[in-house]
Amino acid sequence: MLEAWLEELPADECLRLLRFSIAGRIAVVIDDFPVVLPINFRLVETEDATWIAVRTTPGGVIERASVRAAFEIDGIDPGSRQGWSVLARGTLHHIDPDTADVRERFDSEPWLLADRDAWMVLEPFSITGRRLHPAEVEWVFHARAYL
């Protein structure tokens, strides 16, 4: 049996995974402790920059957080013990939704619409990813298939 192994994902694969995802987790620091929250998002790309756009509650946890933040998406297949993750680290910024074309380009279309009037973007300085490849078994069939 060959051991499971990790593959570093190239930048273009990380961006592809972000493009086709709609939900992830944002990590922020509140009162000197990390807080991780599920959110939906929109990836916004231009020739010069990439942002992860979110809408949140004014005065809520995300808006009160420090400017340093991280964002992660992943895909996991527990049956085959494989998966992937993409991590973006950067800074949070407020954006004005009434500025030209911001609403069209940056609206993350929150699943919870009530009070989601604080528009923010994570401006990443780093986007990295990893894929876990499962161990290769000697048998063609999995033992659990017979149970």
Average confidence (pLDDT) over 23-45: 95
The DSSP secondary-structure symbol of 145 reads G
Average confidence (pLDDT) over 40-46: 95
The residues, ordered by sequence, that sit 6+ positions from 134 with a Cβ below 8 Å of its Cβ are 4, 80, 81, 82
Quote the pTM value.
0.85
Contact 13, 127 (CB under 8 A): no
> How much of the chain exceeds pLDDT 90, in percent?
64
Q: Helix H segments across 76-116? A: 102-106
Q: Give the pLDDT band (50/70/90) at residue 129.
A: very high
Instruction: Return the pLDDT at 81.
Output: 83
Strands (E), the chain: 5-9, 23-30, 33-40, 42-45, 50-56, 68-77, 82-94, 118-133
Average confidence (pLDDT) over 130-139: 78
Domain with 29 in it: 5-146
**How many domains does the chain fold into?**
1
Instruction: Return the pLDDT at 134.
Output: 83
| Number of CB atoms found within 10 A of residue 117's CB | 12
Q: Give the pLDDT band (50/70/90) at residue 141.
A: low
Q: What are phi and psi of 35, to 5 degrees?
A: -130, 135
CATH of the domain at 71: 2.30.110.10
pLDDT, one tens digit per residue, over 53-112 is: 999 999 999 999 999 999 999 999 888 888 999 999 999 999 999 988 888 988 888 887
What torsion, rounded to 10 degrees, do the Cα atoms 51, 52, 58, 63 define? -80
